[in-house]
């Protein structure tokens, strides 16, 4: 709940309260708290344009408690570059109150008429009256504002209200904490300012598309997406958007939850990684070697026996030996094929061929994997951006596996950037070779020297003290099992880039961003 307004808001310096509006001169002896009885908003402003007192009416009108308003720039109560109330304070007038456009704490636009009275030393008392409303409507509105203020101030999720053009109408206290902007900085601006590229550039089109076709990507669905803070850093958030249509208004409210540190996300991440670890354990050298030795020993021993037998027949020099040699070679060949089959099965197991592949939108795969990989990235101050080509075809993949690959590449990139002064991660996707999509993850990290490059995808190759060295080899198995290729290269400006391809889904359909 918002903190209660002090009963007696005073001018700065805690001087004796003056009420210059009731009588211009000499200073009134009317107690300041009387001003609180008026539904009009009384706002004291010092010579520097800062708010020094704030009546109950002001609290109700703007939905902001006195302790928050006190010390604020008067200009913050109005949208735009040329706040008319500031101009009025410079030339105070109690006559012919003009209309002024203001915005409430929650970002709603209101129209007020205003009078200003010089108090002392350039300080001014403003009296604002909400225009065009009956007393009843005014108090109903004040009640609604107070209610909204309470909701906006207390809901733990960030609440952002936008109009159908994407213009921010309201920005809750939690949203201000989450994104690092004050309401005054964002209200009236396009909500895309809270998204990294390519969503930043695509959002207007997406909204227009939704209004035209009703085809929703997030509205009414809820997704894990990437948010952009004022300082340029990115963070994973769970976004749910609701739509409200009334006779007078049409707007969207987004609830966003920062899941950087969220336990559930960690669990989800752990789930994904558990698969990797499961495979890592399975492929742990000793286990793998004993399984392989056991499975392959039999056919290899048989091959050796058949070949030995064949050789014996030949060295005996008998004329009827040829059919028997031929028989031994046939058997040896069969056993060689069996050995090959075992290796193939093993690869199939590691790649989990049995899991279903489906047509998946590339953007969704990247978005979710990167949001998950960003968990815990806040402390590392990594700036993530996306460079996704328009109208990418869907890809035919097992999405859990491909997310593992992406997670692995992103995590490796973050590891590689730990000592870098500049930590930029770019995830890009483009169509290649008519029926493939190439996804790349590039970083500004340590780069890969030529020697390391040779062993990169080998199992158990690692340069990290705690590394297992299986991430890239499993990634390669997964990508190759999807019919794609994975490669790494050094970036000329420092850092490295990992690229992999995936097959486009048949009858590729255009994906709406
Ligand atoms: P691990 O991360 O456990 O070491 P990986 O198979 O994922 O196992 O990676 C193998 C090695 O490849 C790493 O130890 C590191 O030396 C190198 N490597 C992977 N990604 C990068 C990168 N983005 N930049 C520099 N080196 C990398």
Ligand 1 atom closest to Cα of residue 474 = 6
Q: Is the dihedral of CA 475, 479, 481, 482 positive or negative?
A: positive
Q: How remote is the CA of residue 489 from the centroid of ligand 1, in Å?
A: 12
For residues 315 and 336, give the distance between their C-alpha atoms in angstroms, rounded to a whole number.
Answer: 23
Q: Residue 321 belongs to what H/E stretch?
A: helix 321-350
CA distances from 325 to 300, 302, 303, 313, 318 (A): 18, 15, 13, 6, 11
The answer to whether residues 497 and 488 touch, using CB atoms and an 8 Å cutoff, is yes
Nearest partner of 61 among 86, 43, 87, 81, judged by Cα:
43
Q: Each residue of 234-250: pLDDT tens digit?
A: 888 888 888 877 656 67
Q: Is 469 close to ligand 1, i.e. is its CB under 6 Å away?
A: yes
Q: SS3 for 259-316, per residue?
A: CCCCHHHHHHHHHHHHHHHHHHHHHCHHHHHHHHHHHHHHHHHHHHHHHHHHHHHHHC
Q: Each residue of 308-341: pLDDT tens digit?
A: 888 888 888 777 888 888 888 988 888 888 887 7
Q: How remote is the CA of residue 412 from the centroid of ligand 1, in Å?
A: 6
The answer to whether residues 389 and 239 touch, using CB atoms and an 8 Å cutoff, is no
SS3 110: strand
Q: Is 416 close to ligand 1, i.e. is its CB under 6 Å away?
A: yes
The pick from 280, 409, 462, 479 for probing ligand 1's pocket by mutation, whose C-beta has the most ligand atoms within 8 angstroms, reads: 462
Please list the pLDDT of the chain residue by residue as tens digits (513 residues).
333 333 333 333 333 333 333 333 333 333 456 677 777 889 999 988 899 989 888 988 888 888 888 889 999 898 877 788 888 888 877 665 677 888 887 777 888 888 888 877 788 888 888 866 666 666 666 666 666 666 766 677 788 988 889 999 888 888 999 999 998 899 889 999 999 887 888 888 888 888 888 777 667 666 778 889 999 888 888 888 888 776 566 788 888 888 776 655 666 666 666 666 555 555 544 455 566 666 777 788 888 888 988 888 888 877 788 888 888 898 888 888 888 777 776 666 555 545 568 899 998 888 878 877 776 554 467 888 888 888 889 999 987 788 888 988 998 998 899 888 888 999 999 999 889 999 999 999 999 988 899 889 887 788 888 777 778 888 888 898 889 999 999 988 889 999 999 999 986 444 444
Give the per-residue pLDDT at 509.
46
Give the per-residue pLDDT at 460.
75
Q: Nearest 5°: CA angle at 472, between 466 and 475?
A: 135
Q: Is 462 close to ligand 1, i.e. is its CB under 6 Å away?
A: yes
Q: Is the peptide bond before 275 cis (omega within 30 degrees of 0)?
A: no
DSSP H helices in 181-246: 183-186, 199-213
Q: How remote is the CA of residue 462 from the centroid of ligand 1, in Å?
A: 6
Ligand 1 atom closest to Cα of residue 408 = 7
Question: Tokens standing for 361?
Answer: 């939108």
Ligand 1 atom closest to Cα of residue 443 = 23
Residue whose tokens read 């709406």: 512
Q: Each residue of 424-452: pLDDT tens digit?
A: 999 999 999 889 999 999 999 999 988 89
The answer to whether residues 169 and 148 touch, using CB atoms and an 8 Å cutoff, is no
Q: SS3 for 13-38, per residue?
A: HHCCCCCCCCCCCCCCCCCHHHHHHC
**Protein residue whose Cα sits closest to atom 22 of ligand 1:** 413
Q: How remote is the CA of residue 415 from the centroid of ligand 1, in Å?
A: 8
What percent of the residues of the chain are helix, what percent strand, and what percent coil, each to the nearest 5? Answer: 40, 25, 35
Q: Is 471 close to ligand 1, i.e. is its CB under 6 Å away?
A: yes
Q: How remote is the CA of residue 366 from the centroid of ligand 1, in Å?
A: 20
Q: Each residue of 462-482: pLDDT tens digit?
A: 888 877 777 888 888 889 888
**Protein residue whose Cα sits closest to atom 23 of ligand 1:** 413
Give the per-residue pLDDT at 262.
62
Ligand 1 atom closest to Cα of residue 464 = 14
Q: How many residues does the chain have?
A: 513
Cβ atoms < 10 Å from Cβ of 110: 18
CA distances from 146 to 78, 193, 387, 509 (A): 19, 28, 43, 48
Q: How remote is the CA of residue 342 from the centroid of ligand 1, in Å?
A: 29
In eight-state DSSP terms, residue 252 is: E
For residues 353 and 482, give the distance between their C-alpha atoms in angstroms, rounded to a whole number.
Answer: 9
Q: Nearest 5°: CA angle at 326, between 324 and 327?
A: 65
Q: Is 442 close to ligand 1, i.e. is its CB under 6 Å away?
A: no
Which residues fall within 8 angstroms of residue 312, CB to CB, at 6 or more apart? none
Q: Is 467 close to ligand 1, i.e. is its CB under 6 Å away?
A: yes
Q: How remote is the CA of residue 463 from the centroid of ligand 1, in Å?
A: 7
For residues 140 and 147, give the distance between their C-alpha atoms in angstroms, rounded to a whole number.
Answer: 10
The answer to whether residues 188 and 167 touch, using CB atoms and an 8 Å cutoff, is yes
**Protein residue whose Cα sits closest to atom 26 of ligand 1:** 448
Q: How remote is the CA of residue 143 from the centroid of ligand 1, in Å?
A: 59
The pick from 277, 405, 411, 412 for probing ligand 1's pocket by mutation, whose C-beta has the most ligand atoms within 8 angstroms, reads: 412
**Protein residue whose Cα sits closest to atom 7 of ligand 1:** 471
Q: How remote is the CA of residue 410 from the centroid of ligand 1, in Å?
A: 10
Ligand 1 atom closest to Cα of residue 457 = 6
Cβ atoms < 10 Å from Cβ of 243: 13
**b or e along 489-511 (b: 16 or more beta carbons within 10 Å of the residue's beta carbon)?**
eeeeeebbbbbbbbbbbeebeeb
SS3 457: coil
């Amino acid at each position: 709940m918002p903190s209660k307004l002090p009963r007696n808001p005073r001018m700065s310096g805690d001087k004796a309260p003056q009420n210059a509006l009731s009588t211009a001169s000499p200073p009134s002896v009317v107690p300041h708290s009387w001003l609180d009885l008026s539904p009009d908003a009384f706002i004291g402003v010092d010579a520097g344009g800062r708010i020094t007192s704030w009546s109950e009416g002001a609290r109700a009108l703007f939905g902001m408690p006195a302790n928050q308003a006190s010390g604020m720039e008067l200009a913050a109560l109005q949208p735009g570059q040329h706040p008319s109330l500031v101009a009025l304070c410079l030339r105070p007038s109690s006559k012919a109150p003009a209309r002024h456009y203001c915005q409430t704490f929650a970002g709603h636009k209101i129209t007020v008429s205003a009078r200003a009275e010089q108090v002392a030393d350039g300080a001014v008392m403003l009296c604002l009256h909400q225009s065009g409303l009956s007393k009843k409507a005014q108090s109903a509105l004040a009640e609604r504002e107070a209610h909204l203020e309470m909701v906006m101030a207390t809901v733990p999720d960030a609440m952002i209200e936008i109009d159908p053009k994407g213009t921010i109408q309201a920005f809750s206290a939690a949203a201000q904490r989450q994104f690092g902007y004050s309401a005054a900085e964002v209200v009236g601006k396009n909500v895309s300012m809270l998204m990294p590229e390519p969503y930043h550039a695509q959002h207007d089109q997406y909204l227009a598309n939704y209004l035209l076709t009703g085809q929703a990507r997030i509205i009414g669905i809820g997704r894990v997406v990437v948010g952009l803070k004022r300082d340029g850093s990115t963070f994973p958030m769970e976004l749910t958007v609701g739509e409200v249509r009334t006779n007078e208004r049409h707007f969207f409210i987004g609830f966003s939850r920062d899941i950087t540190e969220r336990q559930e996300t960690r669990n989800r991440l752990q789930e994904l990684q558990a698969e990797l670890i499961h495979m890592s354990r399975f492929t742990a050298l000793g286990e793998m070697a004993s399984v392989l030795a056991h499975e392959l020993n039999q056919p290899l021993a048989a091959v050796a026996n058949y070949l030995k037998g064949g050789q014996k027949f030949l060295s005996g020099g008998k004329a009827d030996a040829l059919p028997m040699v031929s028989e031994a070679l046939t058997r040896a060949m069969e056993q060689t094929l069996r050995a090959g089959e075992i290796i193939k099965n093993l690869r199939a197991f590691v790649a989990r061929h049995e899991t279903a592949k489906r047509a998946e939108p590339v953007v969704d795969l990247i978005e979710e994997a990167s949001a998950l990989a960003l968990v815990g990235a806040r402390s590392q101050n990594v700036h993530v951006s996306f460079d996704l080509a328009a109208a990418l075809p869907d890809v035919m993949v097992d999405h859990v596996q491909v997310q593992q690959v992406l997670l692995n590449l992103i995590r490796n990139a973050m590891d590689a950037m730990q000592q870098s002064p500049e930590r930029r991660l770019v995830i890009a996707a483009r169509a290649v070779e008519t029926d493939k999509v190439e996804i790349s993850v590039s970083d500004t990290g340590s780069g890969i020297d030529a020697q390391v490059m040779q062993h990169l995808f080998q199992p158990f190759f690692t340069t990290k003290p705690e590394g297992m060295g299986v991430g890239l080899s499993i990634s390669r198995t997964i990508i190759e099992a999807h019919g794609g290729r994975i490669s790494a290269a050094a970036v000329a400006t420092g850092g490295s880039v990992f690229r992999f391809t995936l097959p486009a889904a048949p009858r590729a359909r255009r994906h709406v961003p």
